[in-house]
Amino acid sequence: MDRRTFMASTAATLAGTMWKPDKSEAQITARSTEHHIGRAPGEMPFRQVHLDFHTSELITDVAADFCADAFLKALQDAKVNSINLFAKCHHGWAYHDTQVAHKHPHLKIDLLGEQVAALRPAGIAVNYYYSLVWDNRSALATPEWRARNKDGSGLESGYWPWMCMNTPYLDQVLAENEEILDRMQVDGGWWDILIQPPNGCFCKWCVADRKQLKLSDSPDDICHHNKLVSLKTEKALFDLLKAKQPHAIAFFNSRLVIGISDELPYYTHLEIESLPTGGWGYSHFEHRVRYCRTLGKEMIGMTGRFHKSWGDFGGFKPQAALDFECMNFLANGAKACVGDQLHPRGALDPMTCKRIAHAYDRVGRQEALVQGKHGVADIGVVSSLATSPNMAVQGLPASDEGFTNMLVELHQQFDVLDLGADLSRYQLVILPDSILPMPSLVEKVRAYVASGGALLVTHKSFLDEKTNTFALPEIGVRVEGPSKFAGEYILPLKANFPSVEQDAYYLYQRGLSVTSAPGTETLAVYGHPYFDRSPEHWCSHAQTPFSHATDEPVITRRGNVVYCANPFFQSYSLDGEQVQKLVVQDLIAMCLPRPAIRALGIPSTARLTLMEDNSGETQLVQILYAPYERRAPAIDIIEEFATFTSGRIEVRRAQAPKHVQAMDVVGRVSDVTFDYSDGYARLRLPKVAGQLAITIS
């Protein structure tokens, strides 16, 4: 059975077995209100809260302090206009009156119902949250529905056992969601933890499924089957939601990875969960938003108010960090969402609300500036996850983290691409370090290069390691094997790299030894050490010193294709060597002589983005300056915004602007002087104290 037949069969099965509520039961609790907040493209709320409420049955005073009026006022004071509220948590408990699900044993009120009834008439949108794979109560009650490892043991993540969405558990999930949608009017459904085990589920349903579909237990077939199960789940819940409440939005969390395009029919928008101090790091959002904005859906960025990660009671993020993260969402074309967790007794934390209010006061002032605008990108970078997918939503492969950090620090405007991307939109395409030579992508890149597009390839991208040949002959080099020494040096030739001082620079990661084909120009060469460090041969404390220059190429150019034999992007993530960034800066200038924006004298730790409206006549430059410091293992902290007093930008546009205006971090507006020549509006920046938005029209 092929995938399409499998999906059709699954849908038919669900249609025949889906639980139908008794109408008298559905009427026991009246709908909260028939009022609904309209949804249309471009109208997702800007100021959202995701309110966790994972509450153990060991806690007995659940919602004892909840007051609907106080709850509403706290959110209004915090300037919130949309919220995700809990229908069912990871513990498996429901927080509303129910004839189908299992209400928290110590919850005496219809908490979700009262929350919906209070907020929606006041204009605050309410999406209900429902935990899918993590459901502790169901795992204990129906262990046969758990996801299974190959040895038959149940799969767990920390405290949370995994359920399998390919078992009759899905019928229970559909029944519980149908009851919610029959009982109360909502603005959307928000489903969490939709993940099948990356190594495969070996419950009896999944084993039988793969056998029927003639799928093996190979990694590729497991990945394919996991995708089918996820699509089945998404379709069933999305169709149910739209049948009951057609206006409602829909989002499935834990799935927003490179290559999600085939799941987009079941998403009304995309939400990028990215808590910088909770394991994601500050690079994660910068990477994911530049991918998501290529997919044609509205975007929401989600951070947390926590010092670390979810459920961090008593841990509070500094105000400057929360402000920066929310403003950075807007600067990249996303709306803002702050994650919080409601105390078990049901009262919102006053200090948290105060900090959200401060951040959302700034967001509110920027909404009109970013409305109707989209990100501009000169460069498209193919993610290594496009050819080697995985479900790691909280981490980036080293090469992806390296190119993200490097290009953000260089103030380059770029998108992150999957296999379906339209390369013709970009002046420069980068294949970083390890992009596999998948035939469809190779043909797409070959056509792009033939049409005049510039290409930067590094290390083993498009290399067939069985034959040591590149799938794209236009690269213009032949691989001889690993570099001759493990500890090589690079000598960038001064004429090609004006940003780099002439010297021999150590390459911390090993590259390849290559020879150039006729017509291929050498831009940088290897320098050999005296010998490789070993127990028999060593010198001083670390690498062996530089011995002599060679004519062996490290960086080459053939027409509009540039190649680097070293994994520069992976190395930048692992080693952070500035010279690699400066080399890439000069290579980009070589390939991209007329970028959309040039930043001159702006600190590398400042974030700079360019957006425009559909006509291209109104442009928006956002500059954010809040450098972070490593204050604890794996935690980068922002405690204050910073200031710089000089800098210039040059923005490419078809005609001279009529007006240039800047808005600072507290909302003060001033005119900016400019001149226009050679197709660029040239601006000297006023003082940037943390944040500056410049509108060019």
Report the CATH number at residue 387.
3.40.50.880
Domain count of the fold of the chain: 3
* pTM, to two decimals: 0.92
Question: Are 563 and 640 in the same domain?
Answer: no
DSSP one-letter code for 492: E
Question: Are 343 and 286 in the same domain?
Answer: yes
- What percentage of the chain has pLDDT greater than the value 70? 93
Burial status of residue 446 (CB atoms within 10 A of its CB: 0-12, 13-18, 19 or more)? middle
* The pLDDT of residue 25 is above 80: no
Is 244 inside a domain boundary? Answer: no
Question: Are 354 and 441 in the same domain?
Answer: no
Question: Are 538 and 630 in the same domain?
Answer: no
Question: Are 413 and 358 in the same domain?
Answer: no
In angstroms and rounded to an integer, the radius of gyration of the C-alpha atoms of the chain is 27
pLDDT greater at residue 3 or residue 239: 239
Is 215 inside a domain boundary? Answer: no
- How remote is the C-alpha of 246 from its chain's centroid? 28
- What percentage of the chain has pLDDT greater than the value 90? 89
Q: Which residues contact 545 (CB under 8 A, 6 or more apart)?
A: 529, 530, 539
**Domain CATH number, residue 608:** 2.60.40.1180
So what's the pLDDT on residue 500?
Answer: 96
- How remote is the C-alpha of 536 from its chain's centroid? 47
So what's the pLDDT on residue 126?
Answer: 98
From residue 283, give the alpha-carbon distance in Å to each of 69, 231, 275, 382: 39, 29, 11, 16
Q: Which residues contact 435 (CB under 8 A, 6 or more apart)?
A: 382, 384, 386, 387, 441, 461, 462
- Look at residues 696, 683, 610 and name the one whose alpha carbon lies nearest to residue 412: 610
**Tally: H helices and E strands in the chain:** 16, 37
Query: What does the pLDDT look like over 234-251, one tens digit per residue?
Result: 999 999 999 999 999 999
pLDDT-based confidence at residue 391 (cuts at 50, 70, 90): low
Query: What does the pLDDT look like over 504-548, one tens digit per residue?
Result: 999 999 999 999 999 999 999 999 999 998 999 989 999 999 999
* The pLDDT of residue 10 is above 70: no
Question: Distance between CA atoms of 587 and 432, rounded to whole angstroms?
Answer: 14
Residues 595 and 407: beta-carbon distance below 8 Å? no
Residues 222 and 200: beta-carbon distance below 8 Å? yes
Q: Which of 371, 388, 406 is the last residue of a domain?
A: 371
pLDDT-based confidence at residue 414 (cuts at 50, 70, 90): very high
Q: Which of 319, 348, 371 is the last residue of a domain?
A: 371
Question: Are 486 and 627 in the same domain?
Answer: no
pLDDT-based confidence at residue 388 (cuts at 50, 70, 90): confident
Question: Are 302 and 438 in the same domain?
Answer: no
From residue 556, give the alpha-carbon distance in Å to each of 104, 200, 560: 65, 43, 11
Is 562 inside a domain boundary? Answer: yes
- C-alpha count within 13 angstroms, C-beta hemisphere, residue 453: 23
Question: Are 454 and 517 in the same domain?
Answer: yes
Query: What does the pLDDT look like over 612-632, one tens digit per residue?
Result: 999 999 999 999 999 999 988
In sign, the C-alpha dihedral spanning 594, 595, 597, 598 is negative
From residue 387, give the alpha-carbon distance in Å to each of 319, 432, 509, 524, 662: 39, 12, 22, 29, 42
Question: Are 538 and 402 in the same domain?
Answer: yes
3-state SS class at 555: strand
So what's the pLDDT on residue 394?
Answer: 73
From residue 274, give the alpha-carbon distance in Å to each of 43, 173, 238, 314: 22, 27, 24, 20
- How remote is the C-alpha of 49 from its chain's centroid? 18
**Domain CATH number, residue 264:** 3.20.20.80
Query: What does the pLDDT look like over 561-611, one tens digit per residue?
Result: 999 999 999 999 999 999 999 999 999 999 999 999 999 999 999 999 999
| Count of C-beta atoms within a 10 Å radius of residue 543 | 19
Q: Which domain does 90 fall in, by range?
A: 13-141+165-194+249-371
Is 7 inside a domain boundary? Answer: no
Is 224 inside a domain boundary? Answer: no
Query: What does the pLDDT look like over 33-68, one tens digit per residue?
Result: 333 444 444 479 999 999 999 999 999 999 999 999
Element (H, E) at 77: helix 68-77
Q: Token pair 């450098």 is at which residue?
A: 627
* The pLDDT of residue 5 is above 50: no
Average pLDDT, the chain: 92
The token duo for 287 is 């990477």
The token duo for 391 is 């479900």
3-state SS class at 214: coil
Residues 124 and 33: beta-carbon distance below 8 Å? no
Q: What is the mean pLDDT of residues 78-104?
A: 98
Q: Which of 312, 342, 371 is the last residue of a domain?
A: 371
Is 632 inside a domain boundary? Answer: yes
* The pLDDT of residue 20 is above 80: no
Question: Distance between CA atoms of 677 and 260, rounded to whole angstroms?
Answer: 42
So what's the pLDDT on residue 393?
Answer: 67
So what's the pLDDT on residue 633?
Answer: 86
**Strands, E assignment, 305-378:** 335-341, 374-375
* The pLDDT of residue 392 is above 70: no
Q: What is the mean pLDDT of residues 64-85?
A: 98
Question: Are 303 and 403 in the same domain?
Answer: no
DSSP assignment of 445-479: HHHHHHTT-EEEEETTTTEETTTTEES-GGG-EEE
Is 219 inside a domain boundary? Answer: no
Is 271 inside a domain boundary? Answer: yes
Burial status of residue 21 (CB atoms within 10 A of its CB: 0-12, 13-18, 19 or more)? middle
- Look at residues 60, 74, 68 and name the one whose alpha carbon lies nearest to residue 32: 68
Pairing of strands 379-382, 414-417: parallel
Question: Are 559 and 525 in the same domain?
Answer: yes
3-state SS class at 216: coil
So what's the pLDDT on residue 9?
Answer: 40
So what's the pLDDT on residue 355?
Answer: 98
Question: Are 647 and 545 in the same domain?
Answer: no
Q: What is the dihedral of CA 235, 239, 241, 245, to 10 degrees?
A: 150
From residue 21, give the alpha-carbon distance in Å to each of 102, 174, 179, 506, 629: 16, 11, 7, 69, 54
- How remote is the C-alpha of 26 from its chain's centroid? 39
* The pLDDT of residue 31 is above 50: no
